[in-house]
Structure 1
């Protein structure tokens, strides 16, 4: 049996847990601030706050694999640097120390492909590009990455850092702060005005949730250890591209307004995924148009 601890049971965490539970030899512990589903034979949920002083040692005891997904903020809601460090970096270091003390074999950290590289020279960012975070969210991600690498250097614990782009799709909270495509499709189907920051020229690397989960599984199962992987579609699309596709494939008429651009948003963020392509099990990524159609069908089915 393989014991897996997943810290953070939000959009990604829930989908990852579902993926792990497909293997009957896995036993999963899900850690989250709030718990809305009961435990069962192969999944046990632990309610707790990701904060300095938590007993991470008891949480990860006997774990073979730990997945760190927790963040107390997202781009656009991040706090000043000191607050981000206290809320995210320090508890992460305590988690890593606990994993080292408990003999955890591997720790996987989900970092941010969209913020750690900062202002891009309008080409896809490679894992070898130096981090240059453009906001405090990216800053804390880089600090956590480096703390994990340092911890692993002084122990036998292996690590993998996955710099994920922008996942979207069914299961994501359309009222939450993340998930541009999910939010826009939800607003369109409910005849709400779509609010865009800036002129729509911001470019992002959007990946459908099923592809993102399979990519994470591929990296865990087949990827190198003690290294960093970018994970996205490797293709950029502007916000205007996204709204144009929504206008074309969604039957509802949409209304768009523009708000001032935000300083936390880099103008161009696309990932070079050549390293992931060497181990991928995907025949191809879900296209932006198909992903939007699937997201629309999900929300339409809930009406």
Structure 2
């Protein structure tokens, strides 16, 4: 878990504050700083009538964590891709009109934007050439942000495969919550494509710790425009399956499936820049993180089982 502590830096706004990453960051900010962050979500929009909402207009650092896309949605719902782009543009326009130039942190993708023909690990200097609708959508957001350097000090955090307790299974996204939910139900887990393909899994609390570290630099000084945020450790699907089997206390039945069009070949990130610039490296071992996820799944399943499904009246 992220430890609360006094945080340096100025006023903070979180867009996407109720999401998987945003809720962790908002909780850490609220616990560690008397200046409660301005929190925005679908119910509390950051922009109204073209004007930045209170809290956003005064922010010294803005975290844009409002991503609602998955690889499947990016392929099948171009309207949602455009809606996410429009939201980013509206926020940047509103900040420009407010006359401030805050640090603006965009959650990007480290697994979908780099050129697949280049051998990993991917550095920030690796050429970008997405080969999926999701990767194109993520890179387009980066381009929109960098076009507005007059309005903000832009930082893109290219995240690898983020996981952690409480992550909801979303179709086509986040293999671990799907596998653990199947395991708790006694169902086979579905493995798509080559089981030897590797990914870079990073715990959500480590990601939160990186986002907090960015606050130390908002008072001035140079900020890198792009930073990889991952474990830096390649883990194959078969290796992750071994960890899940060990954590759940037995062998896991597997259903092998063909690969999907949006699945990338092996990728993982070089995180040397995050270390050099911010003294950050992922600290939570994958087996430890998966165990915490499994314990949360068991707790949730136990609570669900204790709720009556019907009420009889006499």
TM category (shorter chain) comes to: 0.7 to 0.9
Is 1:65 the counterpart of 2:61? The answer is: yes
Match of 2:148 in 1: 151
Task: Give the conservation status (yes or no) of the 8 Å contact 2:106–2:155.
Answer: yes
Q: Which residue does 2:291 correspond to in 1?
A: 293
Which residue is 1:207 aligned to? 202
Alignment of 1:172-183 (within 5 A): 172-174=167-169, 177-183=172-178
Q: In 1, distance between residues paired with 2:63 and 2:216? A: 13
Say which SS state the counterpart of residue 285 (structure 1) adopts: coil
Q: 1:56 to 1:135 in 2, by over 3 A?
A: farther
Q: Which runs of 5+ in 1 are unaligned?
A: 35-45
Could you list the structure 1 runs, at least 4 aligned residues long, displaced by more than 6 angstroms after superposition.
none
Q: Does residue 131 of structure 2 align to residue 134 of structure 1? A: yes
3-state SS of the aligned residue for 1:268? coil
- Structure 2 counterparts to residues 1-303 of structure 1, below 5 A: 2-8=10-16, 9-34=18-43, 46=44, 48=45, 55=50, 57-58=52-53, 60-79=56-75, 83=79, 86-102=82-98, 103-152=100-149, 154-155=150-151, 157-174=152-169, 177-222=172-217, 224-225=222-223, 227-281=225-279, 285-302=283-300, 303=302
Q: Which deviates more from structure 2 when the two are superposed, residues 234-243 or residues 65-74?
A: 65-74
Contact 1:84/1:136 (8 A) holds in 2: no
1:175–1:192 CA distance, 2 compared to 1 (3 A): farther
Work out the CA distance in 1 between the residues paired with 2:170 and 2:79.
Answer: 24
Deviation of the 1:283 alpha carbon: 7.2
Q: What is the root-mean-square deviation in Å for CA atoms of aligned residues?
A: 2.5
Tell me what 1:39 maps to: none
Mapped to 1, the partners of 2:206 and 2:242 lie a distance apart of: 23
Seen in structure 2, the aligned counterparts of structure 1 residues 77 and 202 have a Cα distance that, compared at 3 Å, is farther
Alpha-carbon distance in 1 for matches of 2:119, 2:12: 38
Distance 1:218 1:283 in 2: 11
Separation in 2 of the partners of 1:64 and 1:284? 26
Contact 1:108 1:162 in 2 (8 A): yes
Distance between the aligned counterparts of 2:29 and 2:144, measured in 1? Answer: 26
Q: Is the 8 A contact 2:50 2:90 kept in 1?
A: no
What is the Cα deviation at residue 69 of structure 1?
1.1
Q: Secondary structure at the match of 2:31?
A: coil
Q: Normalising by structure 2, report the TM-score.
A: 0.82
Q: Is the 8 A contact 1:64 1:105 kept in 2?
A: yes
Separation in structure 1 between the aligned mates of residue 169 and residue 81 of structure 2, nearest angstrom: 28
Contact 1:120 1:268 in 2 (8 A): no
Give unpaired runs (5+ residues) of structure 2.
Answer: 1-8, 303-314
Greater displacement, 217-226 / 8-17: 217-226
Q: Give 1:111 shift.
A: 0.5
More strand, by proportion: 1
Asked if the contact 1:230/1:272 (under 8 Å) is kept, the reply is yes
User: How many residue pairs are counted as aligned between the two chains?
Assistant: 287
Q: TM-score, normalised by structure 1?
A: 0.85
Determine helix, strand or coil for the equivalent of 2:168.
coil
Deviations 1:184-227 (A, max 9, x none): 12321221221111132321100112111112222342594251
Distance between the aligned counterparts of 1:281 and 1:301, measured in 2?
35
Deviations 1:38-95 (A, max 9, x none): xxxxxxxx2x4x89x8645225222222111122421122136953552222321221
CA distance in 2: counterparts of 1:234 and 1:197, whole angstroms: 23
